[in-house]
Structures are given as structure tokens and as C-alpha cells.
Structure 1
């Protein structure tokens, strides 16, 4: 049984980490969050120590190790994106491996520095890239790999559309602050870019067509794919058929005009991620680097407008 600590325990994604820790037969020793409305812990680890101040959490982790003769084996990091880098460093300095939500960090140079700290401490950094463990997408990768073995120069045409409606709170929270979240592409798109590059190869060209507070759209030329992408948290852009079904999220990937259905199968992907990490097979800095580089470039590129290979949903903004 491994001992875990968790940072960002009151966040949206934290319960999936708590469930994964419990489902894999491990224990949560301590949790941290500035917000104390944390009753969800009663469903998983009611006996875990809880802190609202980092300094007291830090002291507990250090003292607990010295007093109990045990140590924290892993620190799970579910804090706001801009804090991941600091909290990963804390984990490694505390003698623990780090398991961080996506995006791992906001910029590629942060990854370089974390690799130095990994080497110094001998500890590992893992990133939750759960789409790589989705059964449908694993099967897709196997299929594409076989096709590319037969036709090495093949190029696929892909449209990625991800619309996940968010209310006004989003823009008041840290998620609406690009300096803290990395912007729309980092916050809701990074795992899609990772998945596409994992299957179709690394980015060769990166173009941004539109960039607003609630929407990003652009074009990626990958080694084996041309990708038009559109990401938004604006409810207005969700297709009417989806709205009429009472849904507030629309996710679509088409490859050469064929829809890839992967709306299900997400329930246990964090648990699967933890199972792989506990076997020493999790996704580390090298796997995370490409998508971090991609979203960092998107954040810093100027939009060119409706020119070239733009996603058809871009026209929604021109109405």
C-alpha cells in the first residue's frame, strides 16, 4: 500500500484522483486546498489530514515522515495550472513522485527544468494523459500504425471540435486568466493535441485562425495529418441538435470524413492511469513535452483570421 498526498483537493478533478487512489488499494494521508468545502473526502478518505495553508501542509508532510518512519510515496497535483510546476517541485523535494493533472506545466522550458530536478532527486514526474488509455483511441492508434506501415507517406484530414459550455464563473475564476490557466487551448485542448500527436506524429506547422476569451481555433500540420481544430466554452456554438438533447458538451473528431465515437469510456481512465503509474509505466516528461510545446506556441501566436485551412465552425464567430 502506497501513501499519497493530494494538492487541490476541492477542485473539479480531485475526486477522480481520490477514487483512483482508493480503487488501487492505496491511502490518502494528507490533502491541501485553500477552500475548505471539502466534504467529498468523506466518501473516500475521511481520516486524511486536511490543510488550507500550504505551509502547514508542508510541515505535516515533513514531520509525518520523520515521526512515523514512513514517507509520502506520491503527491497528486490537481491545483490550478500555473501552480503545477511549483507543486511538482515540492513533491520531488519531499522524496515523492509527482502525479500531475494536465497541462503538466504551461511552457516547454518548465519541462526542461523539471527534468533537471528529476535527475537531482531520482524521483519521477507523471502526467495524466488519459486519452492514451481510452480503448477506442488505443484501437485507433493500432489501426493507423498498421496503415502507415503499408503506406508510410499517407496524410489524414482531421477535424477536431470540442465545445464544453461554461458559465460566467469561468471567466472570474483562475481558468479565465490566461496567465494562470494558459488559455482555452491549454485548459481544455492540451490532451487532444497530445492524443493526435501520439497517433499521427509531431507538429510540423502551427497556425491560429481565431483567438478570443472563450474560443480558440487553428490548424496543425502533423507528420501524418492535417488538423483543423475548434475549441470553445461558449454555449452558443453548440449544435442545435445537441442543445435540444439537453447536453452542454459537444465532442467530435472526424478522420477523412468518418466520425470517431469516443464519448463513453471515460469513467475509469484516472484509475487506469494510476494502475500504470504504480507499475512504473506512466507518462512522464518526454510524453508531456510535445503538447506543452504546442499549446505554448498557440498562446503566443497571432491569429490570422479566416485564411487557409480553417475549421468550418470559425464562421460562427463571423455572424
Structure 2
């Protein structure tokens, strides 16, 4: 049984991490968030310590080390711009790291992480859960076994957001990285993982709520479209009462992967705990790409 701490416990995605810790048979010993109403903890780890400041968390980690009961992992679910700070905090206190996407906003921070990893002997793992989606794994296998050398890809991801979004850190490009980083990075990672490194990138539109462009990868040309606007939802989504729409077409054929997302954090944790997590070298391509796309904004 591994001992976990979690930073950013009040955020939407944090519950998936808490559940993954529970479902993999491990223990959340403490959680930290500046928002201090944390009733969700009672359903999973009611005995866990809770802190509302980083100082209290660091003190707990140090005391745990001194008492011979160190915290093994720190799961990071804080806002994107704080990831680099919290990664440093975890590594310098002797903990392995599991961090939500994007690992960092600025690609130059990846070099810092590699230095800290070398100094601490610990690893930083990133949540790239699409790489564990059964249908995406099937697609990767099909592409690897195909006689074709080059493919045409159409990616559309529309996830409508209310007015609150643009008043939160998510709507601040300096804190979230903007639309390509905050909502698009999983898809860019998945596409470069399957179809190879970026050869060329053209951005047609880059605004706060919408972005589109064309990528040329080693094995594919990708037309991509991202939106936070409900008006961009297709009729098939609105008729079904859905506010999110995902579509990837490979040579005109739809790849179905709209379901199965909620369980992928547990699968990811299982992989990480057996030494099969995705690290800095895995995320570099997509983080560099999203910075380049953001430069068109």
C-alpha cells in the first residue's frame, strides 16, 4: 500500500484521482487546497489530513519522512500554472509525482523537471489517459499494421463552457495556457503518439473560445478544430442533450471513443504504480506544439 498526498483536492478532476487511489488499494493520507469545503473526502478517505496551505503540507511531508512513514506519491490537480511549483515541492520532499495534464505550460520547464528528477531519484508521471483508451489502442495497432504510409485525420472537440470559465484561471491564457493547452493537449498528444512527430503546423484561427488549424505529422495530415462555444455543437449532440462532442475521423472513418473516459484514471494509476508511467520525454512533443499554436493567438 502506497501513501499519497494530493494537491488541488477541490478541483473537478481531483475526485478521479482520489477514486483511483482508492481503487488501486492505496491510501490518501493528506490533501491540500485553498478551498476548504471538502465533503467529497468523506466518501473515500475520511481520516486523511487536510491542509489549506502549502506550508502545512510541506511540514506534514517532512514530519512523515522524520517519523519513518514517508509519503510515496504526490498527485497534482492544481491549476496548470502551479504544476511546476508543486512538482518541485513534491520532488524536493522525496516523493514520486502524478500530475494532471498539461504537465507544464512552458516547454523550458521540462528541463527543470529533468534536473530535479536526477537530484531526487524520483519520477514525474503525467496523466495521458487517452493512451490507455481501448479504442485508441486499437487505432494505434491498426496504423502500425497498415500498408498505408500516410493518413488524413479530422479532429473536432467541442466542450461548451459557461460564463464562469472566463472569470476563472481557466480563462486566463497565462494561467491555463489557453484553449489548445487546456482542452486540446490530450488530443495532440494522442495524435503525435500514433502518427509521429510534428513536421509542420499552420493555425487558421486562435481566439479565446475557438481554435483551428492544420498539422502535418510523419504519418498524417490533421485538420483540427477546438471550441468552448455551445453554438458549435452539431445537431447530433444537441438532440441528445450533450454539451460535449468529440470526433476523430481517420480517412473519413469515425473512431469511436466518446465513452470510457471516467475509468481511465484508475488504469493510469495502475500503470504508474507498476513503473509504466509516461514522463517528460513522452509529453515534450505536445507541450512544444501547444506553445507554438498559442503563439498565433
- Place the TM-score, normalised by the shorter chain, in its bin: over 0.9
Residue aligning to 1:177:
172
For structure 1, the 5+ residue unaligned runs are: 303-319
Unpaired segments ≥5 residues, structure 2: none
Displacement of 1:301: 2.5
1:296-311 → structure 2 map (5 Å cutoff)? 296-301=291-296
Give, in whole Å, the separation in 2 of the partners of 1:141 and 1:241. 27
Look up the match of 1:213: 208
Find the aligned partners of 1:62 and 1:253 in 2 and give their Cα distance: 46
State the Cα distance separating 1:65 from its structure 2 match: 2.3
Cα-to-partner distance string for 1:136-178 (whole Å, 9 max, x where unaligned): 000110010011xx44xx2111110000010000000000000
Query: Given that residues 207 and 301 in structure 1 are in contact (C-alpha distance below 8 angstroms), is that contact kept between their aligned partners in structure 2?
Result: no
CA distance in 1, matches of 2:121, 2:65: 18
- Distance in structure 2 (CA, Å) of the matches to 1:144 and 1:268: 25
Displacement of 1:248 in angstroms is: 0.5
Structure 2 residue 55 is the aligned partner of structure 1 residue 60: no
Partner of residue 33, structure 1 = 33
Task: Compute the TM-score of the two structures, normalised by the length of structure 1.
Answer: 0.92
Please state whether the residue corresponding to 2:131 is helix, strand or coil.
Answer: helix
Whole-Å separation in 2 of the counterparts to 1:294 and 1:44: 37
Q: Secondary structure at the match of 1:193?
A: helix
Distance in 2 (alpha carbons) for counterparts of 1:131 and 1:19 = 18
In structure 2, how many angstroms separate the alpha carbons of the residues matched to 1:146 and 1:78? 37
Task: Please state how far the C-alpha of 1:266 moved relative to its aligned partner.
Answer: 1.6
Contact 1:207 1:219 in 2 (8 A): yes
Between the two proteins, the alignment pairs up a number of residues equal to 297
Q: Provide the C-alpha distance between the structure 1 equivalents of 2:216 and 2:38, rounded to a whole number of angstroms.
A: 43
Q: More displaced, 49-58 or 77-86?
A: 49-58
Q: Distance in 2 between matches of 1:263 and 1:213?
A: 24
Report deviation, 1:242: 1.4
Picking from 224, 227, 244, the partner of 2:219 is: 224
Give the superposition deviation at 1:202. 0.5
Aligned to 1:24: 24
